[in-house]
A and B are shown apart, each in its own frame.
Chain A
Amino acid sequence: MKRRDFIRSSVGAGVATGAALSLGGANSLLGAEAETDFDLVAIRGGEPEVMFDKGIAALGGMSRFVKPGQRVLVKPNIGWDRTPERAGDTNPKLVRRIIEHCLDAGAKDVLVFDHTCHEWTKCYQHSGIEQAVAEAGGKIVPGNSERYYKHVDVKGGVKLKETDVHELMLNTDVFINVPVLKNHNSAKMTIAMKNLMGCVWDRGYYHKNDLHQCIADFLHFRKPDLNVVDAYRVMTQNGPVGVSLDDLVTMKSQLISTDIVAIDAAAAKFVGMDPSEINHIKLASEAGFGTMDLSKLKIKRIVV
């Protein structure tokens, strides 16, 4: 309860400051942007929940994205039966904080699922995400059976023209994508766009039909309203499962953006890759889903 109050007051303060600044004549005279008008917020140096508090405040708070009474879908990476230390899945502390922010913004329900690669109950449990969701007041939803998936058309998709998506993709108002940043042996990196593969039933179809094109094509169906990249511990090699703790670098970083292409491009930079090396980022950028040229972005950098 105390934590909730703290978030509410700090987020409130952030919004108030932002509003005051944007109303002040001095800002426009100096040519400053409205405080919340960033394409991307990058935070470094803190614990996941602290970085998220600061980052989302810089974007104007969660109330910009979640309206009272809405149903929110939070989609972390829970793909692997790994403990948080192994960073195969999204950091549970971050997931918990995002849910708390959504509920504070008045969300009616916050629902969390993933179509896992390992046995799903073990993934949900060992990743710590099941517990984090329960403690934050969200709902954890299974994604283990085809019966939870509904057939949809992907209008505009080049290779992915139809697929089966989890029913939550069809009956939630707000979609928050929360990937963990990882090396990936064939998708090169797994970040925000790749994380959406956990929303469909048949991942094999992607692998069979031009992986990168399918990853980009999914955005024709639904683009997340907000993306939060967990780069607290980053698996820079042997991804996406990881062989040992040796594969990890503690970066204590986080990225927040509404632009899924921009956030993937920025995240790639964290592991020393050029966004253009990653085919699905290039394809999504060309299809107009966002900007991969970081020099064209308004970036807010925060060091905690």
Chain B
Amino acid sequence: MKLSILKKIRVVLALFFFLLLSAVFIDFRGTFGDAFYQWAVSLQFVPALMKTITVAGVVAWGLIAVLLLTLLFGRVYCSAICPLGIMQDVVSWVSRKVKKKHRYKFRKAWTITRYTILGLLLLVVLLGGITLLTVLDPYSLFGRIASYLFKPVVVWVNNLGATALSSADVYSILYQYDLAPVQWAVLGTTILFFILIIVMAFNRGRLYCNSICPVGTVLGFLSKYSLFKIELDHDTCTQCGKCMRVCKAECINIKHQTIDYSRCVACYNCIDTCPEDAAVYRISRKGKKEKTVDLKPANVMVAQPKGPQMNKRSFLFTAGAGMAALAGVASVKKVQAAATAQQGSTIHSSNGGKIPEDKNYAVSPPGSESIERFNDICTGCSLCVSACPSKVLQPSFLEYGLAGMLQPHMDFHAGLCNFDCTTCGEICPTGAIKPLTMEQKHVTQVGKAHFIKANCIVETDGTDCGACSEHCPTKAVHMVPYGDLVIPEVTEDICVGCGACEHACPVTPHRAIYVDGNPVHLEAKKPETEKAKSDLKAGEFPF
């Protein structure tokens, strides 16, 4: 049973990648550095592909590695590297424990569905949007599931522990952590996909990977030509069907002793199970095999797929997502107006805040260069959202319009962009957020602050405030005399759009100062300062 070691290796690798990727997205304490994040996601297919396309002259080695692996050994990526795939295996494993009689059987491939989705995705990309990729990319999907569903659970447990420890006066091990609230629509989308994938995996193993996942479709296509393949040795195989029953890809046709390589995820369960050692992993015996690979075998022995229910759901979903993506070409501003209209039912607690902010554009992260460029590349994996120390990066729903759905935007209610922080650019795996040096970051203007005097406390309540200017790192927002008080004033050309002013402004429901995004990022002027002086001589006291 020498070959059964393959499954063990696969399980170890899978657990490693699953824990690695989970850790990266759940790491709310920022334990792992930027370099670690970058390294941890480097083998993920879609980000590596995006980076290769977007960052001119750079071919991400992760992409080459995955393609080579696939051409050599089949869909190893799906079984051992893709966190979403491994998550499904965990679910299948549980389902086999729960449902005693859980057995897989050979099913027809959903060829039309998967190629339709892939085709639609490419069509949408040609039309200038990647929404469908954002929605379906397994890495990004897992990123959002881990960030918005797994992480809160871990944080909740952490906070319970921190409460217990602080009551014993211990503050050094755990500390309380507050998650920024995620919009219900983003959370809802994530939960929807999570449930969809769980249900599919619970009943049908790797059905998502072999019917919806665009990466699965592409790598499945390549796998047909891979050097090493699992084959059922016709001389030793007794057609007992044990391999078929453990095949979560449902791709072993035991009657014809063939395997659908477009669906085989190289999990090696069959090799591990076969009592006759008839399932072997070897350099494919070409010619002979090619004939037996049959995507649509006429099948008598095995029952047909469970029914049209799943097909219908899949169709509806596909159509829905496709329409959403197409609609993304629609005007950004209109959709944003609708989005802001949803908010703003907060209670008035001062005299101000009556005039709504006039935001024309969402603010994209520094290093993204322009909203258009960013929307074209970012797959919304949420790695930057997870890593952003000040929580200013939050997933959007309609802020960029449908074209930028689930991509991060700067949410100044959640935080402010720290002037000296360059984390998001350092870790972005797709190149959607380019890394900036500190000097570049300091003059990157992602938006501009706008002051609404009629909302300001100084004007409405006649008392000092200055919270906006207090937080401004360049003093683009500074205070000027206003009767006995001081009131903010904005120098636009030195404003970098970091949102510190908007974040600090205590006025509700509408802020007295807000940042409107620059659709194309600009270069801010550097603030000029005079050298501070003091008349006080050394050793002298002013009293």
> Which A positions have Cβ atoms within 8 angstroms of B?
42, 44-45, 81, 109, 117-119, 121-122, 139-142, 144-148, 167, 184-187, 203-205, 207-213, 234-238, 240-241, 243-244, 246-249, 251-252, 266, 269-272, 279, 294, 299, 301, 303
Contacting pair B418 A109 (CB below 8 A):
no
25 contacts between A and B (CB under 8 A): A42-B543, A44-B540, A45-B538, A118-B390, A139-B171, A140-B172, A142-B175, A145-B178, A146-B178, A147-B159, A184-B470, A185-B479, A186-B466, A186-B467, A204-B467, A207-B465, A207-B467, A207-B506, A211-B463, A237-B529, A238-B475, A241-B472, A246-B531, A249-B532, A251-B534
Residues of B within 8 Å of A119, CB to CB, are 389-390, 418
Contacting pair B543 A269 (CB below 8 A):
yes
Residue among B162, B171, B532, B535 with most chain A CB within 10 A? B532
- Specify which of B163, B349, B418 is in contact with A81 (CB 8 Å cutoff): B418
- Specify which of A109, A122, A185, A249 is in contact with B534 (CB 8 Å cutoff): A249
Residue of A with least CB distance to B478: A185
Contacting pair A211 B466 (CB below 8 A):
yes
Interface of chain B: mostly helix, strand, loop or mixed: loop
Contacting pair B529 A249 (CB below 8 A):
no
Residues of A within 8 Å of B530, CB to CB, are 237, 246
Contacting pair A251 B536 (CB below 8 A):
yes
Known: A147-B163, A186-B486. A252 touches B464 (CB 8 A): no
In Å, the complex CA distance between A117 and B471 comes to 8
Residues of A within 8 Å of B469, CB to CB, are 185-186
Contacting pair B465 A272 (CB below 8 A):
no
Residue of A with least CB distance to B534: A249
Residues of A within 8 Å of B159, CB to CB, are 145, 147
Known: A122-B389, A251-B536. A144 touches B175 (CB 8 A): yes
Q: Is B420 an interface residue (CB 8 A)?
A: yes
In Å, the complex CA distance between A131 and B542 comes to 34
In Å, the complex CA distance between A142 and B171 comes to 7
Q: Nearest Cβ distance between residue A4 and chain B, in whole angstroms?
A: 22
Residue of B with least CB distance to A239: B470
- Specify which of B162, B465, B534, B539 is in contact with A208 (CB 8 Å cutoff): B465
Residues of A within 8 Å of B472, CB to CB, are 241
Q: Which 10 A-B pairs have the closest CB atoms?
A: A186-B466, A145-B176, A204-B506, A269-B542, A210-B463, A142-B175, A246-B529, A185-B469, A249-B534, A185-B479
- Specify which of A139, A185, A211, A213 is in contact with B172 (CB 8 Å cutoff): A139
Contact bitstring B504-523, A, C-beta under 8 A = 1, else 0: 10110000000000000000
Residues of A within 8 Å of B390, CB to CB, are 118-119
With A148-B176, A185-B466, A185-B486 already in contact, 9 other A-B pairs whose C-beta atoms are closer than 8 Å: A44-B539, A122-B418, A145-B175, A184-B466, A186-B470, A205-B506, A209-B463, A211-B464, A246-B531
Contact bitstring B394-437, A, C-beta under 8 A = 1, else 0: 00000000000000000000000010100000000000000000
